[in-house]
Amino acid sequence: MSTPRADQLDPAVLAALGHLELVARWVVDGFITGLHRSPRKGFSVEFAEHRPYIAGDDLRYLDWRIAGRADRWVVKQFEEETNARAMLVLDVSASMQWTGDPARLTKLAYAERLASAMALLLLRQRDAVGLVRFDAGLKNLVPARAQRAQWRRLMAAFTAPGGGRDSDVAGALLQAGRMVRRPGFVVLLSDLLTDAAPVADAARTLRARGHEVLVLHIMDPAERDFPDSGEARYRDPESLNEVPASPGDVRSTYQTTVQEALADWRSALGRAGARYALAYTNEPFGRPLRHLVGVNGRGAMV
């Protein structure tokens, strides 16, 4: 019986087994084993040149045609396409610190682990990766680098405080775009509790500059389903507005409103040229990672 891959496990169970950095490594290792090909051959490699065979070289890379024609053993060398530059844009506002079930990760905890796995996956491709953390303003910014020390810089940034009430999603996107001087890609992780129009406008600006844009809408399943919890008062964690309600009275209307809002986001971002995907906090990390690989144009999925 095969061992389950970490990228396919329940995210809360996985997070309970290790800290942020360890979980990211487990997820990426599992995800890479799910590629049809090895990490090196799976991420867009090009033939560069031949060199003489040295004892111990992998025989798969011997050029047998040259060996048979010229009685000379040479090895094919490959050059990875490692010029991509990426910025991860992480929402750390108060609403991201919510969960509908203590057994699940908060939206922020889920997004942090997903973003760290994305960063590690890109760095292993030798891509340059940076990070913007924001709420009402920028909390911290790590410029994109492909150096070995970049992983430690990113891990330190993830542990910095956040939690402001508001979230300036559009401003954070534009700031990330300014940090990528030539065409690259920008990945937003947010619960998108804001107006769609400014965010779509920011995404359109980034697309006009040649960047690929992926928006991962982080949601707790309770935000979609509105489970029954009896009479209660519901408070917006950012505006602090409170509304008393009985779930049975409002569930149907609520669910319809949520589906309309999701459709509006998908439509607005689609028209702006961005890619949009939902990421629920109870789904394994592998599914959102496949969206990243699709934007990056690399890899072959299972």
Domain residues of the chain, as ranges? 6-36+83-296, 45-80
* Architecture in CATH of 6-36+83-296: 3-Layer(aba) Sandwich (3.40)
Give the tens place of pLDDT for each residue, 10-56.
Answer: 999 999 999 999 999 999 999 988 764 444 433 344 445 666 776 66
Q: Is 299's pLDDT higher than 50?
A: no
Name the residue among 163, 159, 169 with its Cα closest to residue 112. Answer: 159
* Most confident range, picked from 121-125, 168-172, 239-243, 248-252: 168-172
Name the residue among 178, 163, 151 with its Cα closest to residue 90. Answer: 163
Segment 248-277 mean pLDDT: 90
Residue 101 vs residues 182, 197, 223, 259: alpha-carbon distances, Å: 42, 31, 11, 21
Residue 61 vs residues 36, 71, 124, 267: alpha-carbon distances, Å: 18, 16, 21, 47
pLDDT band at 213 (very low <50, low <70, confident <90, very high): very high
Local structure of residue 230 (DSSP, 8 states): -
Measured CA to CA, the distance from residue 279 to residue 301 in angstroms comes to 18
Segment 229-255 mean pLDDT: 69
Residues 6+ apart with CB under 8 A from 200: 268, 269, 271, 272, 274
Measured CA to CA, the distance from residue 212 to residue 277 in angstroms comes to 14
Tell me, yes or no, if the pTM score tops 0.85.
Answer: no
The answer to whether residues 183 and 213 touch, using CB atoms and an 8 Å cutoff, is no
Segment 156-168 mean pLDDT: 85
